[in-house]
Structure 1
């Protein structure tokens, strides 16, 4: 026979799972709505309808649209850092940059809405991202030191680590955020998987050769 403590624990675990599931559903619906309508045009009601939940349920987890938007941005930053935690001093720069660029492209494709929300927020001044920037700056400094160590080891030409990272972010994100323009220019309705693989390979070669990276 199950004890009272065990029943309480089981109930708590179930409640936690429901909470996490609801939050994920709401965050995904919010991403879709913010991409479609922008921050100003989106409403809690529309987000709730898209999530298939009562409006009161959304307010139970998030007090306001600002809180929900901040949560979406936080989620985006967490995904960003989780995927791009690589680049270590002991790595071979050619392999590390190739894996990094491939991961960046795959991330943007898998989270296209998140990528576009992030870009839109930056374009509009990044007011809602300021609280995340300090931690992000620390992450950037850490990765810059890795690149500087590769330069010091003679594995690549002297480059500005920050501008190199900016270049990688800008070029990879372009293929997602502006994919209709890219497709139009190359004469297609939409970019195929082969097109994106070719673009990724092109960027890898461009960055690796442009940085004068020597194979170990």
Structure 2
């Protein structure tokens, strides 16, 4: 009888793992579909039915994971904020500012391009007052304060000029975000249908040099 019980326990454990994987996969599919739908229709115009259709899942499945459209929208915003924070993680006062800032600007630009819908949803939410981001901002401010202290430490160590850490971060966000949210405008002005990888890298290198030299980062 013991072998049978062990087999049963193993089967239950395996089923639990499989169920967890299916759950995570479904949530990611729903979040991606929601991002696409919110970008196209906005929060007011989007519906759970349209999101479910885009995800290729029954409407009931979406409601199983998210009670309402607002819950789903909040989850999308949380996912965006988590990705943002991950891009600038691991920064510490012992880092070389030039290398750290260059790495961050490159990562931020690539993140915005790889998650263009997320970037546009975030911008749209801000433009409309950021009401649904206020709770997220409370945690985000702690994260920003932590990164600002690292930049301030670089300044105190004489590694860079005494710039305002917050405004430095705002500048990086604004410039990198522009190339995604206004991508069609940039492409039109430079005379192309769309920006190539070389164009994006050239823009990234330009921003890196502008920020690093503007901060007076010591070589």
TM class by shorter chain equals over 0.9
1:26 CA drift (Å): 0.3
Is the contact made by 1:86 and 1:100 (CA closer than 8 Å) also made in structure 2? Answer: no
Matching residue within 122, 128, 133 for 2:126: 122
1:131 CA drift (Å): 1.1
User: Gaps (5+ residues) in structure 1?
Assistant: none
Matching residue within 10, 14, 21 for 2:14: 10
Equivalent pairs counted in the alignment come to 215
1:3 CA drift (Å): 2.0
1:11 CA drift (Å): 1.1
Q: Does 1:103 align with 2:146?
A: no
State TM-score, norm by structure 2. Answer: 0.96
1:133 CA drift (Å): 0.8
Partner residue in 2 for 1:172:
176
Residues 148-196 of structure 1 show CA distances to partners (whole Å, capped at 9, x for unaligned) of 1111111111100000000000000100110001011111111111110
Classify the secondary structure of the residue corresponding to 2:216: coil
Residues 120-170 of structure 1 show CA distances to partners (whole Å, capped at 9, x for unaligned) of 111111111111111100110011111111111111111000000000000
Partner residue in 1 for 2:74:
70
Classify the secondary structure of the residue corresponding to 1:88: coil
Q: Does 1:140 align with 2:139?
A: no
Matching residue within 58, 75, 80 for 2:84: 80
Is the contact made by 1:104 and 1:172 (CA closer than 8 Å) also made in structure 2? Answer: yes
1:86 CA drift (Å): 3.6
CA distance in 2 between counterparts of 1:202 and 1:55 reads 46
CA distance in 1 between counterparts of 2:178 and 2:170 reads 12
Partner residue in 2 for 1:190:
194
1:31 CA drift (Å): 0.4
CA distance in 2 between counterparts of 1:101 and 1:144 reads 16
CA distance in 2 between counterparts of 1:126 and 1:112 reads 18
Matching residue within 152, 157, 169 for 2:156: 152
Larger mean CA deviation between 81-90 and 12-21 belongs to: 81-90
CA distance in 2 between counterparts of 1:145 and 1:79 reads 21
Pairwise mapping of residues 26-37 of structure 1 onto structure 2 (< 5 A)?
26-37=30-41
Runs of 4 or more above 2 Å deviation: none
1:83 CA drift (Å): 1.8
Matching residue within 201, 210, 215 for 1:206: 210
Is the contact made by 1:86 and 1:96 (CA closer than 8 Å) also made in structure 2? Answer: no
